[in-house]
Amino acid sequence: MKNLLANDGWRGMHATRTTNGIVQSRSVAAILFAGAISIAIATWVCFRLGAGVAVVGFVYLIEVLLVSLMGSLVSSVAISVIAVGCLNFFFTQPLFTFRVDAQQDIVVLTAFFVTSFVVTFLVHRTRQLAAVHREQAQLLDLTHDSVVALDMNDVITYWNSGAEALYGWKKHEALGHVADRLLHTRFPAALEDIKKTLIETGRWEGEIVNTRRDGSEAAVASRWALVRDEQGRPIATLETGTDITERKRVEEALQQVSRLTSIGELGASVAHEIAQPLAAVATHGAACLRWIDRDVPDLEKVRASVQRILTDVQRATEIVRRVRMLAKRIAPEMTRLEINELISDVMVLLQREVLKHNVALRATLASKLPAVLGDRIQLAQVVTNLITNGIQAMSTIEDRPRELTIKSWRSDDGYVIVSVQDSGTGIDLRHADRLFEPFFTTKPEGMGVGLSICRSIIDAHGGRVWAENNPGYGATFQFTIPVIGDSGSGE
């Protein structure tokens, strides 16, 4: 049975090849016949007009070129040979014979044949390259990712079917437009900084937000590659994009869950922090009543008590503001912010949690750090997650101090770096590659979303996050955020 099927398959392939061969032979014969007729007509017209060898040779070259554009290499070479024969027989002395007496005519005929052969070969090679390019373009159209080519002025020169499906514009509608103007692109960093990185390294990756033709927004994981010519000069940019809109929706939902979970875990600490100023307000309020109920009210002491009440109310309001900063679920808003100020806000919010776990929290924040472009709520969540993660990593430590150190500084390549270093058990090397995977956790009660959310937030801000074990005890988690402009540095 297997042999029978194999024989049937072989016969089918053989029949297909035979059919293709017959079709190709007929095509070559048809082109050869048409070319021969064309040569004959051109010969008759030139002979009747008394054209010279040079003119006839030029006409024949046009004929050879047209045949080369139409058919195979075989038909083109055959037409070249026929053209040389006609040029010799009808236009070279003695006429109507293939004998050539003059050496000059031999040179002319040889030059014509070589020229026609070169033209034939070049056209054939050009057709081959064009076919390869068409096949490559068809392959690019098979991918679901968008593939867009831009010149050095960001003008679209190629737009595949994946881009059509993602953004809604057809190829002929997108070509010739400036990409970021057509798509109203929102970049995670200044476009000038992105282009600088592209020129220096030859590539760039990041998450961008583009606007579709229908007005909806698409989150895209974008990868850029710089194309250079033989002299090394940049000539184009190839941009591939993966639609991650749905993934970002899921991540945002997980971020909200993580934020609310963090607030739940910090509930006792928040209640304690709010209870202190409220108790002080009650105390100062009672004092005010005593000063007012006197026969001669002591207005100075009343004023002082009221001032203390206002101060304590401000303290409680600030605590509520910080909690709301974590609990809000709003669209990301990229604004100019000071990273040290954000770290300080989170540290105050987590102060009770730090004391509860007997952790010594230290901060070494560089002065005069440049501002960064980021979403305050999201970056506060990253810092909160990393500090909470460090506190939990030291929960079982009894033989050494529980120390948590937060540092910030500016790198030489234009980033602000924040690190959170603990003295806990460190990272199990078996799990090091999976730390930032969604839903991966080594804690029995953990959800496995905290570090994954940190990575997605930092990636969206054009930075990166990583972790490594310390030389002694514990681990250090670090992340980077691009700075805005060049507004100074600090150590």
Q: In whole angstroms, give the CA distance from residue 91 to residue 79.
A: 17
Query: Picking from 2-16, 167-181, 277-291, which range would have the lowest pLDDT averaged per residue?
Result: 2-16
156 vs 189 pLDDT, higher one: 156
When pLDDT is cut at 50, 70 and 90, the band that residue 259 belongs to is low
User: pLDDT, tens digit, for every residue of 200-224?
Assistant: 888 888 888 999 999 999 989 899 9
Out of 324-338, 369-383, 408-422, 425-439, the most confident range is: 408-422
CA distance 79 to 39: 8
pLDDT digits (tens, 9 = 90+) for 131-141: 666 666 666 66
d(CA 317, CA 174): 51
Q: Is the pLDDT of residue 373 over 80?
A: yes
Lowest pLDDT segment from 109-123, 149-163, 257-271: 257-271
pLDDT recorded at residue 447:
46
Specify which residues 483 forms β-bridges with.
Answer: 372
Collapsing DSSP to helix, strand or coil, 132 comes out as: helix
**Ramachandran region, residue 216 (left: φ > 0; alpha: ψ -120 to 50; beta: rest):** beta
Q: Please give the Cα distance from 206 to 187 (Å, whole number).
A: 8
pLDDT band of 441, cuts 50, 70, 90: low
**Section 18-40 average pLDDT:** 69
| Measured distance CA(206)–CA(189) in Å, rounded | 9
Find the radius of gyration of the CA atoms of the chain.
Answer: 39
Q: What integer pLDDT is reported at residue 446 of this predicted model? A: 47
What is this structure's pTM?
A: 0.43
Looking at the predicted structure, is the pLDDT value of residue 430 above 90? Answer: no
Taking 80 as the threshold, does the pLDDT of residue 266 lie above it?
A: no
> 166: which 2 tokens?
């993602």
Report all structural domains of the chain as residue ranges with CATH numbers, in order of start: 2-140 (no CATH), 144-243 (3.30.450.20), 251-482 (3.30.565.10)
Q: How far apart are CA 154 and CA 192, in angstroms?
A: 12
Q: Name the β-bridge partners of 404.
A: 361, 422
Structure tokens that stand for 266 in this block: 């910090």
pLDDT at 31 over 80: no
In three-state secondary structure terms, 466 is strand
Residues in contact with 470: Cβ distance below 8 Å, sequence separation at least 6, in sequence order: 421, 423, 426, 476
Beta bridge partners of 481: 416
pLDDT of residue 385: 83
Pairing of strands 372-374, 465-469: unpaired
Q: Which helix (H) or strand (E) holds 420?
A: strand 415-422
Distance CA 138, CA 113 (A): 37
pLDDT at 449 over 80: no
Q: Phi, psi at residue 96, to the nearest 5°?
A: 60, 30
H runs (alpha helix) in 71-170? 73-91, 103-142, 161-167
Helix 299-327 / helix 376-393 crossing angle, nearest 10 deg: 90
Three-class DSSP category at 282: helix
**pLDDT tens-place string over residues 267-322:** 555 565 566 667 667 777 877 887 787 777 777 877 887 887 887 777 677 666 65
Residues 6+ apart with CB under 8 A from 5: none
Beta-carbon contacts of residue 430 (< 8 Å; ≥ 6 apart): none
The pLDDT of residue 417 is 95
* Structure confidence at residue 490 as a pLDDT band (50, 70, 90): very low
Phi, psi (deg, nearest 5) at residue 467: -140, 150
- Do residues 64 and 78 lie in contact, with contact meaning Cβ atoms separated by under 8 Å? no
Which of these, 387, 365, 383, 366, lies nearest to 374 by C-alpha position?
Answer: 383
Q: For the chain, give the number of residues.
A: 491
Helix axes 267-293, 245-265, angle to 10 degrees: 50
Give the range with max mean pLDDT: 53-62, 63-72, 212-221: 212-221
Band (412; pLDDT cuts 50, 70, 90): confident
Which pLDDT does position 167 carry in this prediction?
Answer: 92
- Tell me what pLDDT residue 488 has: 40
Q: How much is the pLDDT for 408?
A: 95
Q: For residues 348 and 242, which has the higher predicted lDDT (pLDDT)?
A: 242
DSSP string, 211-251: E-TTS-EEEEEEEEEEEE-TTS-EEEEEEEEEE-HHHHHHH
- 415 forms beta bridges with 482
Model pLDDT for residues 81-97, shown as the tens digit of each residue: 887 788 778 887 788 77
Mean pLDDT of the chain: 78
What is residue 318's predicted lDDT score, i.e. its pLDDT?
66
Confidence grade of residue 456 (pLDDT, cut at 50, 70, 90)? confident
